[in-house]
Amino acid sequence: MRVLVTGGAGFIGSAVVRHLVLEKGYEVLNVDKLTYAGTLTSVKNVETNPFYRFLQADICDGQAISAAISSFRPDRIMHLAAESHVDRSITGARDFVETNVLGTFTMLECARAYWQSLEPAGKEAFRFLHVSTDEVYGSLSEDGLFEETTPYDPSSPYSASKAASDHLAKAWTRTYGMPIVVSNCSNNYGPFHFPEKLIPLMIISALEGKPLPVYGNGVNIRDWLFVEDHARALDIIAERGRIGETYNVGGRNERRNIDVVKRICTLMDELHPAGKPHESLITYVQDRPGHDARYAIDATKLENELGWKAQENFDTGIEKTVKWYLENEWWWGPLRQNYDGSRLGLLKTVTQK
């Protein structure tokens, strides 16, 4: 099995690469531009594995992507490369439109040309998995869950660009008959998570005795999934998902942001008592523009149809994650050259004269 993974130097992509190479014994070509969010240190434990190869390329570069596909001849493409941080999308949407929309378009067109050139058996077996987010569905109120049939209603430039890319992927199946499956997952957390996102930012800031900035009043809810559970789900969906279908991925672990931060503080009190009590670092700050109130996934289709189940719950996963950050400064320390921890995504107030 040969799998081309885009974005394999990122958080989820690297977990997918590690899973496919080390657990499944697949041949993997990792195609990644290495933006501020990508680092090859996340795939260090496969870099000398004979089943693993890396190509630095931009998914918007059709020539480079075509050449990579033609020479690697994948049985599957798992497309994860994206600009992924909501706060950055608020102040710099262009990169999101370019990579998430035009980059996905380029991936689909290059994959289509290759797929059409395959002999019938290869054509039949080929799959393209487009990896997306539950944020395309917008915001939930107190009740209800995102289902695969929930209408799209994105709030941020990030989620709007992912929604656009999902629509392209669906259209490429309907119009060209391409064997594409789409997955929409809730918030991930775990090792190798770039420290601009809530959970790693809070762990590292707590370790350093810096303020823990909670947006608004901290009652926004996210549904947390351990990244390795997501990687396994993606492999299963790419292998057995029905063409043209969407699968929602989530671990049924809804938490208010403030409770996530408090849990991290309690774990830090146990594991790094020097800074006790870490809760005293919690600081409420100006809310994110367009902040979605609640996300929650109904993963019944994936569980019943494809037999996936999350192995970690939030309590086990968050403890592993905090311990991992405390033990792996070699990984996150150097990434500060790319991000210094300062607040992202605030609009400048324009005062009218």
The catalytic residues are: 134-135, 158
Decide if residue 103 touches ligand NAD (CB under 6 A).
yes
Is residue 303 within 8 Å of 234, Cβ to Cβ? no
Is residue 78 within 8 Å of 233, Cβ to Cβ? no
Considering the complex, what minimum distance in angstroms separates the CB of residue 151 from ligand NAD? 18
Tokens describing residue 20: 């496919």
Tokens describing residue 21: 């190479």
Decide if residue 38 touches ligand NAD (CB under 6 A).
yes
Decide if residue 35 touches ligand NAD (CB under 6 A).
yes
Kindly state the number of chain residues that form the binding site for ligand NAD, as judged by CB under 6 A: 31
Decide if residue 188 touches ligand TYD (CB under 6 A).
no
Give the range of 67-75, 78-86, 200-208, 337-345 binding ligand NAD by CB under 6 A: 78-86
Phi, psi (degrees; rounded to nearest 5) at 2: -115, 125
Considering the complex, what minimum distance in angstroms separates the CB of residue 349 from ligand TYD? 20
Name which position in 214, 265, 281, 297 contacts ligand TYD (CB under 6 A). Answer: 214
Q: How many CA atoms lie within 13 A of 304 on its CB side?
A: 4
Is residue 62 within 8 Å of 108, Cβ to Cβ? no
Decide if residue 198 touches ligand TYD (CB under 6 A).
yes
Considering the complex, what minimum distance in angstroms separates the CB of residue 210 from ligand TYD? 11
Q: Which does 18 bind (CB under 5 to 8 A by kind): ligand NAD, ligand TYD, none?
A: none
Decide if residue 33 touches ligand TYD (CB under 6 A).
no
Centroid of chain to Cα 204: 20
Give the range of 46-54, 184-192, 269-277, 296-304 binding ligand NAD by CB under 6 A: 184-192
| Site residues (CB under 6 A) for ligand NAD, limited to 83-102 | 83-84, 99
Name which position in 18, 79, 88, 197 contacts ligand TYD (CB under 6 A). Answer: 197
The Cα-based distances of 154 to 53, 72, 162, 215, 337 in angstroms read: 35, 35, 9, 19, 31
Decide if residue 187 touches ligand TYD (CB under 6 A).
yes
CA distance 264 to 34: 29
Question: What radius of gyration do the chain's Cα atoms show?
Answer: 20
Give the helix/strand (H/E) hosting 129.
strand 127-133
Decide if residue 164 touches ligand NAD (CB under 6 A).
no
